[in-house]
Amino acid sequence: MDATALEKTVLEIVHALPPGRVITDPALLASYARDEAERAPYSTPAVVVRPHETAEVATVVSGCAERGVPVVARGAGTGLSGGANAVPGCVVISFEAMNRILNIDLHERVAVVQPGVINEELREACAQRGLWYPPDPASSPWSTIGGNVATNAGGVCCVKYGVTRDYVLGVEAVVGRGEVVRLGRRTAKSSAGYELAALMVGSEGTLGLVTEVTLRLRGARSPERTVLGYFDDLVAAGHAVAAVTASGVVPSALELVDRYCLQAVDEWKNMGLTDGGSVLLLARTDAPGTAGAEEADTIVRAFCSAGATWSAQSSDDTEAEALFAARRLVYPALERLGAVLSEDVCVPRMRVPEMLDRIQRVAAERGVRIASLAHAGDGNLHPMVVVAHGDEDARRHGHEALEQIVDEALGMGGTVTGEHGVGLLKMRGLTDELSPAVLDLHRRVKHAVDPAGIFNPGKVFTP
């Protein structure tokens, strides 16, 4: 890209926007260069813009499109695939200041929010009105709705209640050369035209910049019952997951945490998580009344039939909440031990035992230790390798192991990403997962919506 064009664009942006919107200080620019993906390359942005309203976003996009300057959107930077990483000579648009909940409609059960709203803050605001926004990624205390929309984030309860795309009714977005469009609807259903709002969900900023989101809400749900199960090994826990699936029960959560993860949290928080066994399964059911009790009993029987060393329904709500809180602490606990190389494959639920076995085999073949964390109920596995900072040999071996796991998942009919997005890390895997004709269709859609080719270039798939 021409350096003069970039310089002119930056100057235009500075002069066109109100004071305080633009960051050019090199020391501050570095903090906007990347997300939390340890394996993904990144550059320092030429400038960072922190808009307060959609019109300001459109101004920036228009100027960038005119001269071919790349634009990269950023939420809280909690992504794990490099999707928000800056590319050379780019303008990063950070939505941290567009963080208002614009409306929560109790009767229509919808919320209208700006992209910088924190997931957990929205959930709490809805709960105060007797409503519930289900998508709950592990990063919900820090990640933004805009980032969740970009990657089609899931979470603990998506096994029963679905992912972000299932709750996005409509979006406002800046596309093309700075046009502002509204996609989707506010009504309960519609058959008017293509579902373009859904197309924006999971597009990782490659089709435009989402500046407002209309979300479907649910009513408050019944209290959950929690079932715990400890197992001697991963494969036995995997068979328990398959047994729950085969039983017909759809739990509101079914999470797997292995001994490596439990130890990391224990060393940090001293919770005694490893006392029960090597692998912990955490299940929940929110079916009301006697149906909930019956589902909990069915889950306990499924755990025991698969070889649980101990399983029971929790009678202590405080303990149950602490265990799920510990599950959310796994990633930051592992980060205390070194750089965390993570994966995000998803396989058919009945093949979870086989996939867990293959992960163990890959670890042995590559001579690495792999920590396993999973939204096991929907087959979404998060194998992770922790390497000492600066140990490039360990990093290389870890990277090779995780790439092999991607291939294993694809070989059993799985996908390269369940909820983290493709970003930079999964591009090779996506090329293997999709046919050439489907990849070409992706490229044609991007060219139609982004004719200047400025939105998050070089991510998700090759041009």
Together in a domain, 162 and 70: no
Residue labelled with tokens 């859609």:
445
- CATH code, domain carrying 272: 3.30.70.2190
pLDDT at 63 over 90: yes
Residue 5 pLDDT class (50, 70, 90 cuts): confident
Average pLDDT over residues 288-306: 97
Together in a domain, 90 and 47: yes
pLDDT in tens, 209-257: 999 999 999 999 989 999 999 999 999 999 999 999 999 999 999 999 9
- CATH code, domain carrying 166: 3.30.465.10
CB count in 10 Å sphere of residue 432: 12
Tell me if 321 is assigned to some domain.
Answer: yes
Together in a domain, 203 and 177: yes
For residues 51 and 13, is the Cβ–Cβ distance under 8 A?
no
- Nearest C-alpha neighbor of 268 from the set 329, 338, 342, 340: 329
Q: Could you give the 3-state DSSP secondary structure of residue 46?
A: coil
φ and ψ of 232, to 5 deg: -75, -25
Picking from 32, 65, 96, the residue at the C-terminal end of a domain is 96
- CATH code, domain carrying 20: 3.30.43.10
Together in a domain, 81 and 178: no
Residue 1 pLDDT class (50, 70, 90 cuts): low
The C-alpha atoms of residue 224 and residue 201 are separated, in whole angstroms, by 29
Together in a domain, 312 and 211: no
Q: Could you give the 3-state DSSP secondary structure of residue 215?
A: strand
Distance of CA 230 to the CA centre of its chain: 27
Average pLDDT over residues 350-369: 96
Tell me if 126 is assigned to some domain.
Answer: yes
Tell me if 454 is assigned to some domain.
Answer: no
Tell me if 276 is assigned to some domain.
Answer: yes
Residue labelled with tokens 């959107």:
73
- Nearest C-alpha neighbor of 399 from the set 384, 381, 421: 384
Please state whether beta strands 168-175 and 209-216 pair in parallel, antiparallel, or not at all (unpaired): antiparallel
Tell me if 271 is assigned to some domain.
Answer: yes
Angle at 383 between CA 380 and CA 386, to 5 degrees: 150
Tell me if 127 is assigned to some domain.
Answer: yes
Q: Mean of the per-residue pLDDT values for the chain?
A: 95
Residue labelled with tokens 């759809």:
250
The C-alpha atoms of residue 145 and residue 125 are separated, in whole angstroms, by 14
- Nearest C-alpha neighbor of 284 from the set 238, 230, 224: 224
Q: What is the domain extent for residue 35? A: 3-96
- Percent with pLDDT over 90 in the chain: 92
User: For 73-82, 122-131, 315-324, which range has the lowest pLDDT when averaged over its residues?
Assistant: 315-324
Tell me if 393 is assigned to some domain.
Answer: no
Together in a domain, 199 and 150: yes
pLDDT at 340 over 70: yes
Together in a domain, 157 and 235: no
Picking from 306, 332, 358, the residue at the C-terminal end of a domain is 332
Half-sphere exposure of 420 (CA within 13 A, CB side): 30
DSSP character at residue 195: -
Tell me if 135 is assigned to some domain.
Answer: yes
For residues 286 and 222, is the Cβ–Cβ distance under 8 A?
yes
Together in a domain, 176 and 268: no
Together in a domain, 168 and 229: no
* Cross-sheet strand order for the sheet of 101-105: 101-105, 110-113, 209-216, 168-175, 179-184
Residue 13 pLDDT class (50, 70, 90 cuts): confident
The C-alpha atoms of residue 237 and residue 359 are separated, in whole angstroms, by 14
Specify the DSSP element, H or E, that contains 389: none
**E strand spans, 314-437:** 339-342, 345-346, 370-375, 380-387
- Nearest C-alpha neighbor of 382 from the set 391, 372, 368: 372
Q: How many domains does the chain have?
A: 3
Together in a domain, 105 and 211: yes
Residue labelled with tokens 């109790």:
106
Q: Could you give the 3-state DSSP secondary structure of residue 413?
A: coil
Q: What tokens were used for 136? A: 């709950």
Together in a domain, 328 and 232: yes
Put residue 164 in one of left, alpha, beta given phi > 0 → left and psi -120 to 50 → alpha.
alpha
The C-alpha atoms of residue 249 and residue 180 are separated, in whole angstroms, by 44
Average pLDDT over residues 26-52: 96
CB count in 10 Å sphere of residue 236: 22
Picking from 219, 236, 256, the residue at the C-terminal end of a domain is 219
Together in a domain, 190 and 142: yes
